[in-house]
Amino acid sequence: MARTVDPDRVAERRRAITAAAAELFGSHGYENTTATQIARIAGMSSGSVFYYFKDKAAVFRSIFEASIPEHAEVIARHIDRTDCLAAVLDIVDALAAEALDPVAPGLMVELLRRLDQDEELTRVVLEDARLSAEALTTLLERGVRAGQLDSGFPPAETARWILAVVDAAFLNADPAHPHDPRPLVRATVSRLLRPTETEHP
């Protein structure tokens, strides 16, 4: 008789492996992290990692795959707001807050190293960026129509620049001297958009 698979338990185990892997990849690097180390941190047997994931590359991808539904939830909370500037800034805050994770700078370095080696990873990252860019573009277009935002730049191009500012929060993070990048990110985006009217002066 085939063993019944509990999807909730599988999802829980995969999340535990992903969380452990993020910690290790971020602190020790992709090449220096083994499945045995990941399993130990996750509290599982050494064979568990490759039971739930095809290979180490799939484990690494899972960190960034998890960002897509998380970012979709952030977008859903703000996409229908009438104050488009405030909505954009709150989305930016949420995205930049991820740079506060101590392992985030290391993960960003490893991500940049892995992109040329893993086409599936590249697709995941591009899809995540596409969803965020589309949401920001929608808010920017609506803000321009409502007279809340300056119309000097194309919304789609501006959205890409905003995401580049968020990326800079990760690339400039210093684990030895951690700081909250959100105030500077928020100020940079605010000045880029040069609002003409907001709910909160």
Q: pLDDT tens, 77-88?
A: 999 999 999 999
Q: What is the pLDDT of residues 112-158, one digit of tens each?
A: 999 999 999 999 999 999 999 999 999 999 999 998 988 788 999 99
Among the listed residues 196, 191, 188, the one whose alpha carbon sits nearest the alpha carbon of residue 163: 188
Domains of the chain and CATH, by start: 7-55 (1.10.10.60), 66-193 (1.10.357.10)
Residues near 152 by beta carbon (within 8 Å), at least 6 away in sequence: 194
Q: What is the pLDDT of residues 151-177, one digit of tens each?
A: 788 999 999 999 999 999 998 888 778
Q: Are 106 and 56 in contact (CB under 8 A)?
A: no
